[in-house]
Structures are given as structure tokens and as C-alpha cells.
């Protein structure tokens, strides 16, 4: 039998809503006759293939592709142009943005349940979840992020990040959506020409070093060597390689980052230009002005990252959501 013939080709009543389905006519939604769709909230142009089941409370956007043997529970909201490949189960509490791709047999765990309600798991727009990846409940996959095949995601993934492994860790950042940027896999390395920094306002500064037979010394004259006078200092250490620190911007606070021992990579982003810079020497520091999104990852064992700040700790000075940050930058 021609596969097209398996799709309904007449007006179908779905729980009170009348819609046209089928091949060869003006389509709103295509539902395979061997699929069960109990929801009436399915957007125009969406295709639901054989042996899939959509429960009544699910909300599905326009032009989505729901492949064979997919289960979608009641408390699931799916955006537009989402592709869900075969063998995927979407449990209560999932929120999926526009243009998301979910690969075959990706697994969304739902074993940790809050009283009377599921944990909310969010897949932001344009993110990708690879084949056989496992996503634990309550995490957020940032926009344009990629979860590699087989990865086990136990904590939220930053926007544009590429994660792999079990547990998943950041292995790079995707610059394909911004093709003019330097590739994150080839970061600017401390010791390179500071002019290689492309994010406006961010600077890589050299610090004076004095060395003799007794060892080395790197002094910092706050009023001479730094773009601001620090009022606070803190050290970041004991960070596992798979962990990501930072993931925020400051509205008013200036920061200066120095890798005292070991190395790490620092992502800086102004919502239109993004770059990864490697810090690996106490003789260089990275100046991060206000309203620059920054995160640190790829910590080598034993790394101690010192951060000098221009202001005391002020919770209201932080912007911790990347979409909110982009919105503020666009005002």
C-alpha cells in the first residue's frame, strides 16, 4: 500500500474541533491513521506519524514533525517547527521552544517529582538533543545549545554550549549561528596578541613580572595596572573540568580575572559578538566590563582563578538569564 494512503483524507472530528487532515488537499494537520491524537491543540502543518500517541492536554505548535512511536503526555508544551524523531517519550513538565530538534530515542527522565507536580524541564529555541541522550528533570537546555549523542545531562546547559559525556560537560561553543566569529574550538590563548580580542570593551592585559633565582613575583598596582580600583576579591578553585562557572552579566560591576595556577577558558558575549579566551598565566588578566555575559569552563586540575571586582556583592547587579540579558542589550 502507498504510504500516503495511510493518512486520513477526509474531515475528522477531534474532541469537538473539526479539522482537515490528509495528503493531496489543503492540509492543516496530518495524522497517520495508526496514530492516536487526543489533543485538539495541534498547530497548522504539523505531521503526526504512525504509532504515536498525543494525550489530550498536550499543546503542539505549527509545522512540527512527530515521527513514529512518540509519546507526548498531557503537561507538555511544544513550540513551532519542532522535530521529534522516533522512539521519544515526552513526559509531563516539558517545555520545548521553537525550532528544536530531538534525536531518535532521546530520553527525558521524570523520576524526581515535586509534591503534586512534575519538575519543569526547558528546551530553549534552536537547541539540539542528540540520539540516545538522557536529560534529567528540572534542567534547562539553553538556546542554540547542542547535547551530543549519548550524553547524560545532569545540570542546565548554557546557551550555545556543546556538551558531551556522562555526566555531560561543556566541550565547546557553537559559533555556526554567528559565522564571523572565531571558532570556540580555537580560543585566543593568553600570550597571544591582545588585539585578537573582538568583543568590544573586553581586554587582555599584561601584568609586570619580576624573576630571579628565588622565584617570580607579579605585582598589581590597582590605580596603575587595572581599568578600575577593586573593592572586592574572591578566588574560584576546586572546580571539576565538566563544570561551568559564571553564566551571568553584571549591570554595573567591572571584573578582572587572573588564572593564578592552572588554566581555564572564559566565554565573553555582548549578545552580538562572542569569543572564548584561554587564561593560563598569572602574568595576564582579562578585563570584563559591565553588561558583558561571561562564563568559565574547561578548568584544568588545580586551577585557582582570582577575580577582582569594582563593587561589593549586590544580588540585583546580576543578570543570570541569557534571554533576559539579550533583551536588555536590545533596548
Tell me which residues are annotated as active site: 248
Tally of CB atoms within 10 A around 152:
18
Do the bridges between strand 117-118 and strand 53-54 make them parallel or antiparallel, or are there none, so unpaired? unpaired
d(CA 302, CA 214): 23
The DSSP output letter for 182 is: P
d(CA 131, CA 12): 34
Name the H helices within the chain. Answer: 222-225, 322-330
Q: How far does Cα 175 stand from its chain's mean position?
A: 13
d(CA 329, CA 39): 39
d(CA 5, CA 254): 64
d(CA 275, CA 120): 31
Residues sharing a CB contact under 8 Å with residue 80, sequence separation 6 or more, in sequence order:
43, 61, 62, 63, 64, 98, 99
d(CA 110, CA 91): 7
d(CA 58, CA 46): 14
Cis check for the bond before 167: say yes or no (omega within 30 of 0).
yes
d(CA 27, CA 44): 8
- Grid coordinates representing 207 are 601584568
Amino acid at each position: 500500500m502507498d504510504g500516503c494512503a495511510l493518512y486520513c483524507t477526509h474531515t475528522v472530528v477531534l474532541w469537538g474541533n473539526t479539522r482537515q487532515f490528509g495528503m493531496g488537499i489543503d492540509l492543516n494537520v496530518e495524522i497517520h491513521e495508526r496514530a492516536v491524537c487526543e489533543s485538539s491543540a495541534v498547530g497548522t502543518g504539523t505531521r503526526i506519524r504512525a504509532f504515536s500517541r498525543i494525550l489530550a492536554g498536550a499543546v503542539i505548535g505549527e509545522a512540527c514533525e512527530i515521527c513514529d512511536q512518540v509519546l507526548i503526555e498531557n503537561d507538555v508544551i511544544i513550540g513551532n517547527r519542532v522535530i521529534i524523531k522516533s522512539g521519544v517519550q515526552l513526559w509531563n513538565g516539558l517545555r520545548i521552544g521553537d525550532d528544536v530538534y530531538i534525536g531518535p530515542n532521546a530520553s527525558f527522565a521524570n523520576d524526581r517529582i515535586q509534591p503534586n507536580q512534575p519538575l519543569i524541564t526547558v528546551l530553549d529555541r534552536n537547541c539540539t538533543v542528540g540520539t540516545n541522550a538522557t536529560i534529567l528533570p528540572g534542567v534547562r537546555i539553553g538556546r542554540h545549545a547542542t547535547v551530543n549523542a549519548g550524553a547524560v545531562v545532569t545540570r542546565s546547559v548554557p546557551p550555545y554550549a556543546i556538551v558531551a559525556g556522562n555526566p555531560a560537560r561543556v566541550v565547546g561553543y557553537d559559533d555556526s549561528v554567528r559565522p564571523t566569529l572565531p571558532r570556540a574550538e580555537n580560543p585566543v590563548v593568553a600570550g597571544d596578541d591582545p588585539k585578537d580580542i573582538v568583543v568590544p570593551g573586553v581586554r587582555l592585559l599584561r601584568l609586570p613580572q619580576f624573576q630571579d633565582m628565588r622565584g617570580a613575583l607579579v605585582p598589581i598596582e590597582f590605580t596603575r595596572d587595572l581599568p578600575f580600583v577593586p573593592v572586592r576579591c574572591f578566588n574560584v578553585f576546586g572546580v571539576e573540568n565538566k563544570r561551568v562557572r559564571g553564566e551571568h552579566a553584571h549591570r554595573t560591576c567591572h571584573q578582572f580575572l587572573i588564572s593564578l595556577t592552572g588554566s581555564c577558558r572564559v566565554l565573553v558575549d555582548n549578545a552580538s559578538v562572542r569569543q572564548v579566551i584561554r587564561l593560563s598565566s598569572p602574568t595576564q588578566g582579562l578585563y570584563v566590563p559591565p553588561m558583558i555575559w561571561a562564563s568559565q569552563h574547561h578548568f584544568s586540575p588545580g586551577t585557582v582563578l582570582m577575580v577582582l571586582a569594582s563593587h561589593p556583592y549586590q544580588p540585583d547587579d546580576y543578570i543570570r538569564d541569557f534571554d533576559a540579558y539579550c533583551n536588555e542589550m536590545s533596548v
